[in-house]
Structure 1
């Protein structure tokens, strides 16, 4: 990543001896840049560093280093070079990060999703290369431009195609970092901005000649101070401002587990329902014996009753048995089959006296997992590649999206209606809080994935708690489940592929954070600024033509 060369600060006379050849850099049309083999290695390593910043590794401090590496690799390259290097970084990041997608359906969907997501990193690399001339003329912009391009890439990737797939955002690697607190100010995009900004500062600090390093001690100290200031601001910014001020409620989460992991957990649906019923009855017995505190509400995970209790009386009887045993409403996940053969993935409130009540229908079904876009095309291509893909398509239930906001009223309490991957989408979680959710509750089913996916999702719940100043919870069929407070701290975390019941007192949120108030505005402004940077870079490149660029930053 460091381009350390003995280049002069200004053009040398023609009779000066040439600069010594460097093993790491070469002179291109725009000045010194990393040699291609070095740039490829740095780009590949950058993806690995980004991966290690995410759960289950949780080395959050490596994320800015990964950003810096990709930036250095692409700097001063042609656009096609930046595209290629960005794609390489995307592959080394997304292929292992998304390996959980292959747990049950094979390698083809995993490869397809990883390749698609890597294309967005390719665009990022191309944009970094495209802005090189502008940065070289105004190096003080380098950190800011880096941050803006990252926010823009994530905004695009989180919305396209078919509603986007925001998994792997820089912000979701920072749950244990002081930078996570920036979510309170302007949401996940602000955390990404702060993380990438530090990465940009690291590039500024390292992209120097030896002579410049000796001559710019003050400037180097100023940039190092900028990193310290960002981290310090993240530490102190939300103190005394994020603590919810509402009443305290006791919430129980039941992780009933499944007889075996895999896509055929639906074939085990009665066993899955029985597991959650029996665990709830055990909780009721523990409460009666004084061994556990009486909850005000019980939350079961997504798909905890894959038998529709509205259409199947035996399932309804079992849920009623559990609700009457514990004596409080149960919020459970279930499926409903519509007359046209389509399905709904929903959360259902079950009262111990009156039975089924309020329903929230998942608003953002996952493409290719819960419904198939352009199905005939996908079925044809999938049949060529792997027969298991066609089998998987046949198992997809064709979920219809819900149209109502993601809130679930349970008596006097209102919790968010966030089902599984919906937690990754800023607008859906914010909508639930704006509509009155006092807790961020996420119901999920990880039975077809693994521990890495579950811990990555839990990190998102933690960030959402900070973002909206709400205590939160994640209820999973197999784990992990747990509670969060408004500072993002997690407690009572369960392990994967186990049965567990956890109970905690949670303070209800009764206010709004700046992030809740601002919504998508900071991200939109950052994207607009990124577009302006690209336009300015285009103008700058047209004016500069193909003349070699001599700059003060090596």
Structure 2
């Protein structure tokens, strides 16, 4: 790894070399400083846009490395306040388009408020990257800062919003393998490190070009630094390619006893916030698709399922309190001859409601349940409702707050041990890790994306499931009310998938695996270790600055 410290061959700090700067001078004219800030701002914005292109909707995951590369180049050797600005520019260029689906039916204010709040975390990242960029081996510490920033963003405020982490863009390519060894944090680190090493190579090349006319020995050393920096850029992808070798392949049936799983996508009468205005129609759609599956099984066209998966919100009529809804679900379970995992909105506890998965067995009715542990703030509950109503009356679209469950979503169904995650829970590392620790042989994601219409939200959520499959070496079945439903192999390959807003039924034989990946064994340790490295680098940069001031 190139040790870029601002002054090759010395222990001193020089003004960073690049457009708009004048190394070796006592000061920079105002016009030059303005030009420097302009090109740095444009570079930071380009990095944010490159990261957007890496995510579903554009599906160019290799471009993700350009985000950390561009920000590293833009802030290299700059002051903290300049880094804050450049990080904010990167964050806005990234999150405003990435999260545009959040405003499709509620207007621009909630969307832009969320995007700006997330961009502020990248502003902090830019501000910390600036002083760290003066340290030896700064590409390593800068990449660790990306992980630390994502760790904080994924926890605060209101439980965090870890959407758009670098690692979640990697649905293909050599870097995805790192998920199996250190989860999403290590995968984000691999993306960021590749980018920062690329930035170091660009700086080394610029320095070599400026020194091409120097003495032969110095020019040769400069070219050598360029070659080493270029080789370092390729190191991480090469390691990723090797890391794939011992991992599971695209087969759904290898690695353990198999079970037959059916996924039902019943569709909804309409997209939007009022998707469930005809709640009975949504329930009927899923019942009807299950009855058709039962007919196909009876005709020998489909195998007999061991379990049938319905999505989140497949019954927004509480089947515990509505006898007709319960009768329809029972009708479907009895017809297909297998337990149905129903996604329901259930009254209680107390004045709350709950987003609950119910195992509904033939002849027996409702059994084991899982209550969503991480309700989404401002979508399933509204913190400080009176305060936020001042900014937008849309908060009152959430009429009753959802309660949070306190038990891990592991359900024994049809001889299988399913790890159930409801909708956005798939983005939270700890929730996914808990169900695998609980013995889940496969992962199930019950989701309802009808409230986001024909946007990239569904594809972005599917990408998370693909990363989780590799991280935990498990197949993942996604059941969505309106799409995208899918079945994902342990290597992240999408074996089956549906289109948006159309009925779909999948039946697949899926192995119930019990092996544990390195990532599962290590848990959150890689994230904490990389965060500690980042914190140490920040402290060292402060120590050096104080020592320089004292000298």
Question: For the residues of structure 2 that align with 1:412 and 1:205, how far apart are their CA atoms?
Answer: 54
Q: Match for 2:233 among 227, 237, 245?
A: 227
How far apart, in 1, do the equivalents of 2:521 and 2:9 lie? Answer: 49
Cα distance, 1:189–1:30 mapped onto 2, change above 3 Å: farther
Between the aligned partners of 2:538 and 2:157, the Cα distance in structure 1 is 22
Which of 496, 503, 525 is 1:499 aligned to?
503
Structure 2 counterpart of 1:41: 42
Q: Secondary structure at the match of 1:176?
A: coil
- Distance between the aligned counterparts of 2:22 and 2:144, measured in 1? 28
What are the within-5 Å matches in structure 2 for residues 123-522 of structure 1? Answer: 123-134=124-135, 138=136, 141-207=137-203, 208-209=206-207, 210-212=209-211, 215=220, 216-242=222-248, 245-338=255-348, 340-382=350-392, 387=393, 389=394, 392-450=395-453, 451-522=455-526
Q: Which residue of 2 aligns with 1:552?
A: none
Task: Report the CA distance shift for 1:132/1:315 in structure 2 as closer, same or farther (over 3 A).
Answer: same
**Alignment check: 8 A CA contact 2:182 2:518 kept:** yes
Quick one: distance in 2 between partners of 1:235 and 1:179? Answer: 7
Give the aligned partner of residue 16 of structure 1.
none
Look up the SS of the partner of 2:61 in the other structure.
Answer: coil
* CA shift digits 1:242-286 (9 cap, x unpaired): 365211111111111101001112321100000000011111111
Structure 1, gaps ≥5 residues long: 1-6, 12-18, 548-554
Aligned length: 521
**CA deviation profile, 1:404-448 (whole Å, cap 9, x unmatched):** 012121032111120000000000000000001110111100000
Corresponding position: 1:544 with 2:548 = yes
Deviates further, 491-500 or 32-41: 32-41
Cα deviations by residue, 1:475-523 (Å, 9 ceiling, x for unpaired): 1111111111111111111111111111111111111111111100110
Q: 8 Å contact 1:53–1:61 — kept in the other structure? A: yes
Secondary structure of residue in 2 paired with 1:267: coil
Secondary structure of 1:181's partner? helix
* CA distance 1:74–1:296, shift in 2 (3 Å): same
1:319 Cα deviation (Å)? 0.5
Higher relative contact order (CA 8 A, sep 6+): 1
Which position in structure 1 is the counterpart of 2:3?
none
Residue 142 to residue 417, structure 1, CA distance change in 2 (3 Å): same
Counterparts in 2 of 1:70 and 1:260: CA distance versus 1, 3 Å: same
CA contact (8 A) 1:152 1:530 kept: yes
User: Counterpart in 1 of 2:75?
Assistant: 74
What residue is the counterpart of 2:98 in the other structure? 97
Label 1:539 to 1:500 Cα distance change in 2 as closer, same or farther (>3 A): same
Shift of 1:546: 9.5
Shift of 1:76: 1.7
- Residue segments in structure 2 that go unaligned for 5+ positions in a row: 1-5, 213-218
1:300–1:331 contact (8 Å) kept in structure 2: yes
Q: In the aligned structure 2, how far is the partner of 1:293 from the partner of 1:9?
A: 67
Judge conservation of contact 1:63–1:173 (CA < 8 Å) in 2. Answer: yes
1:520-539 matches, cutoff 5 A:
520-539=524-543
> Aligned to 1:545, what secondary structure does the other structure show?
helix
Deviates more, 1:330-339 or 1:81-90: 330-339
Question: 1:481–1:494: 8 Å Cα contact kept in structure 2?
Answer: yes
TM-score (normalizing by structure 1): 0.90
Indicate conservation of the 8 Å contact 1:406/1:429, yes or no: no
Q: Deviations over 1:5-25 (max 9, x none)?
A: xx99789xxxxxxx9x98544
1:85-143 C-alpha deviation (Å, 9 max, x unpaired) = 11111111000100000111111110110010000000000011121332xxx2xx122
- Where 1:263 maps in the other structure, the secondary structure is coil
Asked whether the equivalents of residues 382 and 398 of structure 2 are also in contact (C-alpha less than 8 Å), the reply is no
Matches of 1:397 and 1:267 in 2, distance apart?
16
SS in 1 for 2:277: helix
Q: Distance in 1 between matches of 2:200 and 2:303?
A: 55
State whether residues 268 and 275 of structure 2, in contact with CA within 8 Å, keep that contact through their aligned partners in structure 1.
Answer: yes
Q: Deviations over 1:346-374 (max 9, x none)?
A: 11100011010010000000111111111
Change (3 A) 1:164 1:396: farther
CA contact under 8 A between 1:372 and 1:396: conserved in structure 2?
no
Q: What TM-score, normalized to structure 2?
A: 0.90
**CA distance in 1: counterparts of 2:22 and 2:346, whole angstroms:** 62
